[in-house]
Structure 1
């Protein structure tokens, strides 16, 4: 039922989107890794969440300073553009740093603290010295919830139990903040994926409109089936990585902070591999992709002008008229733009469609491709019923 040229055209187009979206992602992730934009992103988001007073104190803490990227041996240009802030902070580190800083504000508390003063007393007194009302209200709420939680588990609750409950509450808030920031980061990165996708679309001439028409053409069934086969193999492989950010992921923290150069090398290798896979796939299926298709232009010399011109063996030659960017003269090998003049603007619409497709990301196209492949193969088999059920 679904083994039709129209359905195969959709699969072929999704396969191309998956291929080029991986290349687009590499173009976005590589500079982000080098410039440590994640660290700057976390720094700016925490400023809005904590307020200037708590934010400055948090990044001035020795425990956070130890996570900063080394800058003493960097050139002024690198120090200017590469963020030094840590991209990942554990929930425990955040909670302990904030609680210790608020407690330290109680040194000038009036009235005087009880003698001896417990850590929870110092924290409660330090709340009065917070200048940001929203963050102060948040910490007061977490403090009161901690007291209530400790009281429900112990009667009476000890200061140590109250302190443990407070730390867990602060850790929980930071965990939720990290989850929200992951969504913000993905959303904000879509514009970079769009512009990188538009760049790939222009440089590789990935025109969605032209490609759709070419793949759907019955005379190009061989290219269409080759892409379907390529998509089937891709759907059975490992899902590609997308734009991810988890502020509290300790494994990512080790990779990002302690082995940052290894991460950059990995991103560079991934980008190079994606580029090689993309370039290798194009000639195999004979698609109208890339302005660099006309690579054989120096083999024909115009006898009148003495200049080398496009050869009749160029890839665009003998392709359908709608798939060509230039007209080729098989007799002389000379080329000329398609007419009329305004028709040269047609590719822009196809490039924009491709850029919007790249903005959705490689994981999206991988999942979509897998669903289409399953439908083409008459769907996924339902799970067998348990005969032992009564």
Structure 2
């Protein structure tokens, strides 16, 4: 069973992690809105999917197709040769999301009718596409007949595989292309999430060092201060009960952390530990001080630990904070809810001891767990004995004194009440 203080310290630490994760997520969204890194990852994934690393062939035609071009303002600019998306790659005004249906329809239209009219509907060799001016619906036969015009053998092979498994149904062929696109985007999304965690780690490390958010110092402070621990647990409980009460902006999180009055910031550095070390060093330097049980190796190493432990523990506390922030606010919100449930089941048993039930008390005189005693009502006898048989004394019995002669008896009304007299 968890100790109540340790459980409340854990709740306080998780609550701080939740607030810091919200803060860093807000910062990350601000950086994302400026750089549009998500759009750069999408563009890089489409170039990889269409085997167009330079962005001058089929990827450019796709972005300039009306079904995709309408999703973003501006125009498509080919990236630098071999450029890949990174943590701080700018996506400019490219779309951050392209629906799979738009991708499949645009690719089928590019193959069946050629590039968009804005580009002159010209193929790779500069000639007009044979089906550029056709107004009839595109069929699978049109796609097969003009697939060589895109000049991309790898994409040709993928599209032909989608057509072969469609059994002559163009809608099914489009669905196959959508699945091909979605599987590639799943891989790109995983890559983007990993980069986001990297950004959150560096933001978390910046916040941890800049605001001196040391996990180890926080845990020690909460364990020693019951009042602050209770206040932060109460606030964490209100957040766990109502998710709408979470801070959603950087300023809200900053104000909420400031209201907790925790040892966060450089003003609190070493305050709690310095008092304890000063009192201990003063006691050790006194002439009559003698360590209990004799001097040990720990006593010899303690001065060096008191002098240098901050240089070891502080970076470790900052690193723990930064790593925790990378897990994200949803993760810590779920952990906080679980801890609050555990606390709600532990706390009532600590306030009052569990009383034993009445059944247990009645069976305490007998065997443990004995069933409660029952009262049995006996039925009346079938035959009633005669009074003579019950009241007739034996011949040899004179115990009742009925045959003793009594002389000079005192009447009942003359006896005192204590001796049975009648008043």
TM-score with structure 2 setting the length? 0.60
Kindly indicate which of the two structures has a greater share of residues assigned to helix: 1
Cα distance, 1:290 vs structure 2: 1.0
Which of these residues, 241, 253, 256, is aligned with residue 277 of structure 1?
253
SS, match of residue 288 in structure 1: coil
Q: String of CA shifts for 1:49-97, please: whole Å, max 9, x gaps.
A: 11113212211223322322348xxxxxxxx956121111122211111
Q: Larger relative CO (CA 8 A, sep 6+): 1 or 2?
A: 1
Is 1:138 paired with 2:158?
Answer: yes
CA distance in 2, matches of 1:54, 1:240: 48
Mapping of 1:70-89 within 5 angstroms? 70=74, 83-89=92-98
Is 1:231 paired with 2:236?
Answer: yes
Poorly superposed stretches of 4+, deviation over 4 Å = 105-109, 115-118, 129-133, 315-318
Q: Which residue of 2 aligns with 1:288?
A: 263
Question: Structure 1 stretches of 5 or more lacking a match?
Answer: 72-79, 151-161, 242-268, 294-314, 325-337, 380-390
How many residue pairs get matched? 289
Q: Which residue of 1 aligns with 2:201?
A: 194
CA distance in 2, matches of 1:322, 1:179: 54
Over the aligned positions, Cα root-mean-square deviation in angstroms equals: 3.5
Work out which of the two has the higher radius of gyration on C-alpha atoms and give 1 or 2: 2
SS, match of residue 375 in structure 1: helix
Question: Structure 2 stretches of 5 or more lacking a match?
Answer: 76-88, 115-121, 278-304, 347-423
Q: Which residue of 2 aligns with 1:302?
A: none
Contact 2:11 2:336 in 1 (8 A): yes
Contact 1:210 1:323 in 2 (8 A): no
For the structure 1 residues 375 and 135, does the alpha-carbon distance in structure 2 shift closer, same or farther, using more than 3 Å as the test? Answer: farther
Cα distance, 1:238 vs structure 2: 2.6
SS, match of residue 213 in structure 1: helix
- When structure 1 is superposed on structure 2, of 184-193 and 14-23 the one drifting more is 184-193
Is 1:361 paired with 2:328?
Answer: yes
CA distance in 2, matches of 1:278, 1:342: 29
CA distance in 1, matches of 2:71, 2:337: 41
CA distance in 2, matches of 1:207, 1:317: 11
Is 1:94 paired with 2:103?
Answer: yes
Contact 1:68 1:84 in 2 (8 A): yes
Q: String of CA shifts for 1:103-159, please: whole Å, max 9, x gaps.
A: 2359899xx99x999531121123334544443332222111112xx5xxxxxxxxx
Q: Which residue of 1 aligns with 2:274?
A: 321
CA distance in 2, matches of 1:49, 1:235: 43
Contact 1:70 1:84 in 2 (8 A): yes
CA distance in 2, matches of 1:240, 1:143: 52
Q: String of CA shifts for 1:195-228, please: whole Å, max 9, x gaps.
A: 01111111211111111222222xx111112221
Contact 2:205 2:318 in 1 (8 A): yes
CA distance in 2, matches of 1:374, 1:346: 32
CA distance in 2, matches of 1:221, 1:352: 26
